[in-house]
Amino acid sequence: MHDFLRQSIPEALAHTGKDTFDSHLQGVETILRLWNAKDEVCRAGLFHSIYGTEAFQGFKLALENRPRLRDLIGCKAERLAWIFCVVDRKTVDVTLYEPEYLQNQPLHGIQFYARPELGRFPIPLEDEEEWLDFLELSLADWLEQVEGAAQKENKLFGWKKGEAWSYRRRAFARMAEVLVERRGERLRAAKEMFEEVFAMEPAETRGLHQEITPPMSDAAREARFALESINL
């Protein structure tokens, strides 16, 4: 991974330092391996923010380099990382409440959408398995960082200390439930980890809910305003 970064975005390592830059990425991979996730999901965990994400607009690899990363980690892993980077997370959360899921039926035609500033193009998923793989990746990513994120304020998001706990809390709780119900005993560890992590949340923030990612850039903000203006 570091050889790839040195060749691709060396300013990232120069700015953050090797250990700081990849500690979260390695943590996500470690959680996924603890859950006995598929190898491609674990590899995606290690590279999940490589192109920049809805919540991370810092150092990133240009999207035209997708073939290079695909050669390095495999097609399925790279595709999961790509989706994680370009997706509008609210459209992921919507799928957790599809009628087929509520009736405990197989899901077909599952679709996310890209972030508004990227054009909001549809992202059809290959099948229910890819959807569940993506949920595993998403849940592992947040469980790895939420406690640390809540220990400080986030001026970019406008969050006070502790308010990170509120970010998409209902969606992450739902992911933990879905993974156990759809994938069985193997993902019992994911639900237990969710419960253990959120048991550490102080009482004063447990009633807070932040359903969407605050816009990270002027382009993202204007794109979201444009969508909202349709019904004005």
Mean of per-residue pLDDT scores for the chain: 87
State residue 57's pLDDT score: 67
- pLDDT per residue as tens digits for the range 37-50: 999 999 999 989 88
| pLDDT range class, residue 16, cuts 50, 70, 90 | very low
| pLDDT range class, residue 5, cuts 50, 70, 90 | low
State residue 164's pLDDT score: 95
| pLDDT range class, residue 215, cuts 50, 70, 90 | confident
Q: The tokens of 187 are what? A: 């993902």
DSSP 29-92: HHHHHHTT--HHHHHHHHTTTTT--SS--SS---GGGHHHHHHHH-HHHHHHHHHHHHB-HHHH
DSSP 124-141: E-SSHHHHHHHHHHHHHH
Q: Cα–Cα distance between 109 and 91 in angstroms, integer?
A: 14
The answer on pLDDT for 221 being more than 70 is: yes
Give CA 75 to chain center in angstroms: 18
Q: The tokens of 135 are what? A: 């949920």
Q: The tokens of 14 are what? A: 């120069």
End-to-end CA distance of the chain: 47
State residue 151's pLDDT score: 93
Nearest Cα to Cα of residue 38 among 138, 139, 185, 136: 136
* CATH code for the structural domain at 2-226: 1.10.3210
pTM of the model: 0.89
| pLDDT range class, residue 172, cuts 50, 70, 90 | very high
Query: How does DSSP classify residue 217?
Result: S
Q: Cα–Cα distance between 91 and 95 in angstroms, integer?
A: 7
Whether the CA torsion 66, 69, 71, 74 is positive or negative: it is: negative
| C-beta of residue 19 within 8 angstroms of C-beta of residue 111 | no
Q: Cα–Cα distance between 17 and 62 in angstroms, integer?
A: 20
User: Could you tell me which residues are beta bridge partners of residue 124?
Assistant: 111
The answer on pLDDT for 13 being more than 60 is: no
- pLDDT per residue as tens digits for the range 100-149: 655 566 677 889 999 998 999 999 999 999 999 999 999 999 999 999 99
State residue 17's pLDDT score: 47
The C-alpha angle 118, 122, 126, rounded to 5 degrees, equals 130
| C-beta of residue 107 within 8 angstroms of C-beta of residue 97 | no
State residue 86's pLDDT score: 94
